[in-house]
Amino acid sequence: MKILITEFMDAPAVDQLRAAHDVTYDPQLVDDLPRLVREAPQCDAIIVRNRTRVRGDLLAALTRCKVVGRLGVGLDNIDVQACETRGIRVIPATGANAHSVAEYVIATAMLLLRGAYASTADVAAGRWPRSALSQGRELAGKTLGLIGFGSIGQLTARLARALGMQVMAFDPAMADNAPPFAELGVSPAQLDHLLAGADVVSLHIPLIESTRNFIDKRRLAAMKPGAILVNTARGGIVDEHAVATALRTGQLGGAALDVFAEEPLALAPHFEGCPNLILTPHIGGLTIESNERVSSLVASKVLEALA
Ligand code: NAD
C-alpha cells in the first residue's frame, strides 16, 4: 500500500514503514499544496505533523486514504469530524512528546522565577550585577496552576511535585475525585481560585472554539501579581498583545510562549523589549528523544491500521 509522509519523520520509523509498504517521504511536501493534492489520491495512509492542513482540498483528494497519522498531539490542523465521516482514522501520538513539554514548563518556570541567567555578557565584560540578580525566586514551595489536566498536565504535575511545588488543576471534564488528583497530590480547583492563587500558570488545553482567547486581558488581571504564565498548548488560546502589556506593567512577572496564533510568528513589535519573556518556535514537544518516540509510535499504529 502507499504511504505519504509530508513532514519530518525520524529515519528508522520511515524505514520501518518502507519495509512493508511503498513510502513517499518528502518533508518539503507540506509547502507545496498543488503537488500534495496531486499525490493524495494514490495514498492509503498519510502521515503529517502540525503544518499539513488535512481539510478542504487536501481532504477531498484523499479518496482512498484509510488513516491519518499525526506526529504530535494537537489535532487542530485536521478536520477530525470530516475524516470520521469519510471513514478515515486519525491517529495522534498521544503521550509520546509529553515529557519534553513537561520539562519545558518546569525549565521556563525556574528560569523566569529566578530571573538571573541572562548575565553572561555582563559577567564576562567584568561587570558584576550581583545585587541586581539576588532577588530571584525559588520554585520549591510555589504553587503551580494547571489549566487542563490531561496527559501533559498530569506529567507536569508529577515533575512539579517532585521539586516541592504545590499543584492545583482546573479541568471541567474531570470530577474532583478523579484518581489522578489524589495519585499526584494535586488539588482540583475552580478557574478563578487557580488564577488568583498560582505563582505559575501553565496551559494544557486544546485549541477549540471555547478556548480561543481563553487567557485574555481580564484573566491576566485576575492572576496573582508577578505570576508566571507558560503556554505550550496552542496559540490563539492566549491574547499575545495582552500578555505583552501585562509584562510591561509588571502584572505578569514573566511569560514563556512556545505557540502563537500565527505560526511562524511574523515580526511582532508588541513583544520587542518585553521584560522576562521567553519566546520559542513551537519546540516544546520536540527533542531527540520525543522525535524517536513520536515517529516510532505513529509508524507502528499506522502499520497496524493498514494490516
Ligand atoms: P489531553 O487531551 O491529554 O488533555 C487536554 C485536557 O484539557 C483534557 O483533560 C480536557 O478535559 C482539558 N480541557 C479541555 N477544555 C478545557 C477547558 N476549557 N478548561 C480546562 N481544561 C480543559 O492533551 P495533552 O496531551 O495533555 O495536550 C495538551 C495540549 O498541548 C494539546 O492540545 C496540544 O495542543 C498541546 N501540545 C503542544 C506541544 C508543543 O510542542 N508545544 C506538544 C504537545 C502538545
40 neighbors 46 (Cβ within 8 angstroms)? yes
Quote the CA–CA distance of 5 and 24 in Å, as a whole number. Answer: 6
Query: Which residue among 49, 73, 207 has the greatest number of ligand 1 atoms within 8 angstroms of its CB, and so is best to mutate?
Result: 73
pLDDT tens digits along 245-263: 999 999 999 999 999 999 9
- Same domain for 216 and 108? yes
Tell me the average pLDDT across 13-41: 97
Nearest residue (CA) to ligand 1, atom 28: 204
SS3 15: helix
pLDDT tens digits along 43-97: 999 999 999 999 999 999 999 999 999 999 889 999 999 999 999 999 999 999 9
- Same domain for 92 and 104? no
User: Minimal CA–CA distance to 182: which of 194, 160, 167, 197?
Assistant: 167
Outline where 139-205 has alpha helix (H).
Answer: 151-162, 179-184, 191-197
Look at residue 295 in the predicted model and tell me its pLDDT.
97
Residue 186 sits in a domain of what CATH number? 3.40.50.720
**Does the Cβ of 172 fall within 6 Å of ligand 1?**
yes
Tell me the average pLDDT across 224-244: 98
- Same domain for 154 and 272? yes
Which one-letter amino acid corresponds to residue 3? I
pLDDT tens digits along 109-132: 999 999 999 999 999 999 999 999
- Same domain for 112 and 239? yes
- Same domain for 174 and 263? yes
% residues pLDDT > 70 (the chain): 100
SS3 116: coil
Grid cell in block for residue 282: 513551537
- Same domain for 80 and 15? yes
Separation of 149 CA from ligand 1 center, angstroms?
8
Query: How many residues are listed for the chain in this entry?
Result: 307
**Does the Cβ of 169 fall within 6 Å of ligand 1?**
no
Quote the CA–CA distance of 3 and 298 in Å, as a whole number. Answer: 12
- Same domain for 140 and 271? yes
**Does the Cβ of 215 fall within 6 Å of ligand 1?**
no
Indicate the average pLDDT of the chain. 97
Catalytic positions are 234, 263, 282
pLDDT level of residue 239 (50, 70, 90 thresholds): very high
- Same domain for 143 and 207? yes
Look at residue 37 in the predicted model and tell me its pLDDT.
96
Q: In what order do the strands lie in the sheet with 2-5?
A: 22-25, 2-5, 45-48, 67-70, 89-92
Question: How many distinct structural domains can be found in the chain?
Answer: 2
- Same domain for 47 and 189? no
- Same domain for 293 and 237? no
- Residue written as grid cell 519530518: 8
Separation of 169 CA from ligand 1 center, angstroms?
12
- Same domain for 16 and 155? no
Question: What pTM, to 2 d.p., does this model score?
Answer: 0.93
SS3 105: helix
306 neighbors 17 (Cβ within 8 angstroms)? no
Look at residue 195 in the predicted model and tell me its pLDDT.
98
Tell me the average pLDDT across 137-162: 98
% residues pLDDT > 90 (the chain): 99
**What is the span of the domain harbouring residue 302?**
2-96+288-306
- Same domain for 76 and 104? no
